[in-house]
Amino acid sequence: MKVSLVGVTGYSGMVLYHLLSQHPQVEKILLFGHSATATNENHRSTSGLPSYLNISDPLLPYDCQTIEERSDVVFFATPAGVTSQVAQPLINDNFPVIDLSGDYRLKDPLQYQKWYHKEPVAKETLRKASYNLADLSKPTSNYVANPGCYATATLLGLAPLVINHLIEPDSIIVDAKSGLSGAGKKLTTNSHYAYINENMLPYKVNQHQHIPEICQQLHQWNDQVNSIQFTTTLVPMTRGILASIYAKAIKPTSTDQLQEVYQTFYADHPWARVYLDGFPSVKNVSHSNYCDLGISYNEATNTIFVGSVIDNLVKGAAGQAIQNMNHLFNFDETMGFNLIPDIP
């Protein structure tokens, strides 16, 4: 099959290009810029990217007709606000799209406007997109809204508890920590080495744009869940997310019982690994498509703790997009992932 990729210069786009280039079903990758002229791009071909000096795939001007004529599916690894402006013709033609941005994740346009501070697409257009957490479901439409990185770690950590109604619906607290690559390539004051090295910084407290998509999915699983307490912290590492999740059990339980619940729930899901001894670290999943999970129960406080770790650029972005492509075209879910975690 032939694949188009819009947005190869960002971190997620570069990882996606790498994964697509080794996928056994992908014979050709066409690269497109964000605009009709591509003059606003940092590089005109992959050879302008330091990682790809020996590869010279041209960066083509964005054009829906060219994408549809020359490929079978298109990935958007673009910032929020791009696909909402340029993807409508693809939606009208029911052309397969996997969108890594947040433009089509939220079903309520007002929620998108509130959390992303951009103009939303119409509600009837949003209905044509399917938000798909690739480990737990398959897309229901040709336009796939790929979940965000924080949302992926949090939802996979909470799914067995929420779907099985094991926790108090209003008791969920998530303390999520992420490496710098999650903020993208654009330089900011907080991402300077001299500032973030040997430092940690809570950011977007109660304002992070992944909060509404997390709540939207949790509410679909259990309509008693309407909100969560969610905090993000920037830590001095390159990649990885640790979501520390806390919730009150509906009735007393035990760590052994909870581990059994998680093992049963994820028994047929190859990219989720449940720890029975100790807890995972971000290095356990680095450069891989795994989500690793550790669970504990505190009798004194009746609190369940879940540690959920992912690589934000693979599982939290490009890797899950490949999973969604595999689902969309009925390939094996593990196809294209010759990846094992690497340390250091």
Q: Which residues are catalytic?
A: 149
Residue pair 129/122 in contact (Cβ under 8 Å)? The answer is no
Residue pair 129/96 in contact (Cβ under 8 Å)? The answer is no
Task: Please give the Cα distance from 132 to 158 (Å, whole number).
Answer: 16
Residue pair 135/164 in contact (Cβ under 8 Å)? The answer is no
**Residue 221: how many other CB atoms lie within 10 Å:** 17
Task: Please give the Cα distance from 208 to 247 (Å, whole number).
Answer: 20
Q: Following DSSP, what letter does each residue of 295-307 receive, concatenated?
A: EEEETTTTEEEEE
**Residue 144: how many other CB atoms lie within 10 Å:** 28
Task: Name the DSSP class of 316.
Answer: I
Q: Which amino acid is at 206?
A: N
Task: Please give the Cα distance from 255 to 262 (Å, whole number).
Answer: 11
From the list 255, 261, 257, the residue with the least C-alpha distance to 163 is 261
From the list 267, 296, 298, 294, the residue with the least C-alpha distance to 281 is 294
**For the CA atoms of the chain, what is the radius of gyration?**
20
Tokens representing residue 103 in the block: 């433009």
Q: Following DSSP, what letter does each residue of 126-179 receive, concatenated?
A: HTTEEE--TTT---SSSEEEPPPHHHHHHHHHHHHHHHTT-B-TT--EEEEEE-
**Residue 234: how many other CB atoms lie within 10 Å:** 21
Task: Please give the Cα distance from 131 to 137 (Å, whole number).
Answer: 10
Bridge partners of 182? none
